[in-house]
Amino acid sequence: MSANAVRELELRPSPGKRSNAPTVDVVVPVYNEALTLERSIRRLHRFLVRNLPFTWRVVIADNASTDDTWKIARRLSGELSGVDAIHLERKGRGRALRRAWSDSDADVLCYMDVDLSTDLRALLPLLASLASGHSEVAIGTRLARGARIRRSRKREFISRAYNTLLRLLLRARFTDAQCGFKAIRADAARQLLPEIADESWFFDTELLITAQRHGLRIHEVPVDWVEDPDSRVEILRTALEDLRGVVRLATSPPL
């Protein structure tokens, strides 16, 4: 990220922002991730300390875990500077992101999956277009030219089929709705969140379609991505929920 882009972001704080508020919030939504949470958060923390050129905060958003995830999250928030944790009583990744983003006082809000499947070196390019004012939303994509991925043929087929469906039915102009690596300017989030109904996995798609319908600019960053074999995503159930969400948006009245 260029020095000019950093200055642009720091010179345009959110209205009413506290003087000690971070420039970027990195939200990590988690559900029953006791085995991987500490390793991932410490790795993310080291990367941010060494590479992010402005103030940041990591927010672990535990959505109703039933294992030791919340206990570990609280301990990490006490041990690592710049790490906070919040707990939700109800499950749902979209619900966790809505809560964390709504409570944030940062200028830029982003999130990433706890498995860190996306190479963290893509974070600075993700933030650059938001910092410069070029775009309001930025997403990592595994389906654009320049991306390098390793995943099963089954997940590759489902992903490509789903995103093709979005282009056909919802006229999506982005290539990858589901990559767990996204960022949005806080002012854009405040505009869009009240209009997003989904509280689970379809939250990502609805966020992007709503942003597109409002004429907001969506910047795509090709990423390096490696499939996590221990993913908590239930592919069939998630696919069915996503299809219901697509039908709901396709039949909703235009803005």
User: Which contiguous run of DSSP H or E holds residue 48?
Assistant: helix 37-51
Residues in the chain, how many? 255
Q: What is the rounded (10 degree) CA torsion for 119, 120, 121, 122?
A: 80
Beta bridge partners of 28: 60
Contact 127, 133 (CB under 8 A): no
Q: Is 70 helix (H, G, I), strand (E, B) or coil?
A: helix
**CA-based nearest residue to 116, from 14, 15, 225:** 225
Q: Is 125 helix (H, G, I), strand (E, B) or coil?
A: helix
Question: Catalytic residue at 242?
Answer: no
End-to-end alpha carbon distance in the chain? 34
Give backbone dihedrals phi and psi of 28, rounded to 5 degrees, phi first.
-120, 95
Under DSSP, the state recorded for 133 is: T
**What distance lies between CA 140 and its chain's CA centroid?**
9
Contact 69, 31 (CB under 8 A): yes
Options 187, 204, 230, 242, the catalytic residue: 204
Contact 51, 74 (CB under 8 A): no
Residues marked as catalytic = 204
